[in-house]
Amino acid sequence: MPEEVAGLVAAAQAGDRKAFDELVRVTYLDTYTLAYRLTGNEEDARDVVQEAYLRAFRGLKRFRGEARFSTWMYRITANCASTHLGKRRRHRHEELTDEVVDELHSGADPEASLEADSLRAQLQEVLRGLPPKLRAVVVLRDIYDLPHEAIAAELGISESAAKVRLHRARRKLREDLFPMPADDDACNDRDAHAV
């Protein structure tokens, strides 16, 4: 696959429009998946992907091949998602649906399936609530399993900034998913048990 992509990139850089179309076809699923995870909904993901491929087409002659094409597309997509979400002020509260849930849960314990679905929905909601810069880092690290160095390169930030953002994102996710009881409530509970 990497050789195929490299050949398509070279042909597209030479002006072969069909090669670029094939390059889009070969890389679309990964690009869309990243955009969807960064934006949290299909409509925004499609807009981000369209903008990312437009930028890639315009900048293809500047692609030097020092990194893989997919890595270059991840960076463009992450930047497009950040720009898109930065422009967008209103929040959407649409439910994300997982179309494979039925297939994955056929024959599974209904209670466990319901609990897993609930946790997945809660996690997706909390992830959507993160600022785009934090969301991008946590998605690239925890979902795409990229090392800090690659995340920094993808987002055009220092490695230490990537680590700080990841720490902040994980802390925010933990706080939102598992909120600590208020101090007053904890004191009241202790007082009630002491009586």
pLDDT for 93? 40
- Asked if residues 133 and 85 have their Cβ atoms less than 8 Å apart, the reply is no
pLDDT for 176? 85
**Amino acid identity at 40:** G
Going by C-beta distance under 8 Å and a sequence separation of 6 or more, which residues neighbour residue 60? 9, 12, 13, 20
pLDDT for 22? 93
pTM comes to: 0.57
For residue 177 the two structure tokens come to 């998913």
- Set out the domains of the chain in order of their start, with CATH numbers: 1-87 (1.10.1740.10), 111-195 (1.10.10.10)
Q: What is the pLDDT along the chain (195 residues), one digit of tens a residue?
A: 567 888 898 999 999 999 999 999 999 999 999 999 988 889 999 999 999 999 999 999 888 887 888 888 988 998 898 888 877 644 444 444 454 445 444 555 667 777 777 777 888 888 888 888 888 888 888 888 788 888 888 788 899 999 999 999 889 888 888 887 765 555 555 555 554
For residue 100 the two structure tokens come to 């494979």
pLDDT for 88? 65
For residue 9 the two structure tokens come to 């990139």
For residue 169 the two structure tokens come to 């994102």
